[in-house]
Amino acid sequence: MTCESLPATWQCSDSELFIRFSDVFVPRREEQISAMCDLLNDLAAPRILDLCSGHGQLSEAYLRRKPDAHVTLLDRSPEMLASADQRLKAFRGRYELMLASIEERAWRKRSSYDAVMTSLAVHHLDAEGKRALYRDIREMLTPGGVFAMTDLVEAAGPGTRQLAADHWAEAVRRASLEQFGSDEAEKIFEQTEWNYYRLPHPDPVDKPSSIAEQLDWLREAGFANADVVWMYAGHAIFTATREAIE
């Protein structure tokens, strides 16, 4: 992978690390992916948008689970999309790739979907960016459509921030041993200061919002049934639906 650098954003070098270590760096990764797929399990022949899809792990799990699904993978990183294309070879014809930024408005008007899923990316937007995104996603969903999001969330205070940091570090320690047989991945997690909750200062790249704020913004956007179904180590899974009859 040849990396070009953009300041104060997700970097190509982050993609390289994430492709190699996502199953260690993301706490309880398998459980998260499975819970995300559960949220979209009841949709019939769904057209899905995987927003900031990365190298396609979530899309792969969903395409495997739902043989009648079609997924559009959107990401700003050509390297991530190339890696997703490689991973999804067995599903040709059931997915497409879209090179775009989450901040752009053009892709939001282009299509409608039965569900929008997104994993570990919306925290790159600030509060206003998230609010606008939730409004636009609701508009993009067909009636009865589902939004599912797993993401970092801001802690409500120093106590829960400390707990999130410690739980995340412990999850990475275990996963590094299980998957690499050593602390190799754990050391890289620490060296690269991947644990957001240990950072002493605000971060220009990661801007998580609290669970309470996000549930409010989802309701404000017109979603029904906004809820959190899972949380661990500062990572929470949200869902909300567009009412079938309005």
Ligand X SMILES: C[S@@+](CC[C@H](N)C(=O)[O-])C[C@H]1O[C@@H](n2cnc3c(N)ncnc32)[C@H](O)[C@@H]1O
Which residues are near ligand X by CB under 6 A?
A: 9-10, 15, 18, 22, 52-54, 57-58, 75-77, 80, 101-103, 119-121, 124
Residue 147: both structure tokens together? 């939004």
Nearer to ligand X among residue 58 and residue 97 (C-beta): 58
Minimum distance between the CB of residue 246 and ligand X, rounded to whole angstroms?
A: 30
Pairing relation of β-strands 95-99 and 70-75?
parallel
Considering beta carbons, is residue 53 or 176 the nearer one to ligand X? 53
- Whether 59 contacts 49, CB under 8 Å: no
Minimum distance between the CB of residue 119 and ligand X, rounded to whole angstroms?
3
Min dist CB 177 to ligand X, Å, is: 22
Least distance in angstroms from the C-beta of 107 to ligand X: 10
Whole-angstrom distance, CA of residue 82 vs CA of residue 214: 32
At closest approach, how far in Å is the CB of 175 from ligand X?
A: 15
* Helix 78-87, helix 12-25: angle, nearest 10: 40
Report the C-alpha gap between 41 and 60 in whole angstroms.
14
H-helix segments, 66-157? 78-87, 106-110, 127-140
* C-beta nearest to ligand X: residue: 54
Nearer to ligand X, 43 or 52 (CB): 52
State which residue, 79 or 143, has the beta carbon closest to ligand X. Answer: 79
- CB-nearer residue toward ligand X: 119 or 214: 119
SS3 116: strand
Tell me which H or E stretch contains 24: helix 12-25
Q: Of the candidates 43, 53, 168, which has an alpha carbon nearest to the alpha carbon of residue 102? A: 53
Nearer to ligand X, 18 or 217 (CB): 18
The nearest distance, CB 68 to ligand X, in angstroms, is: 22
Closer to ligand X at the Cβ: 80 or 171? 80
- 183 φ, ψ to 5°? -95, 20
Minimal distance in Å, beta carbon 1 to ligand X?
Answer: 12
The kind and range of the H/E element at 71 are: strand 70-75
Quote the CA–CA distance of 100 and 52 in Å, as a whole number: 9
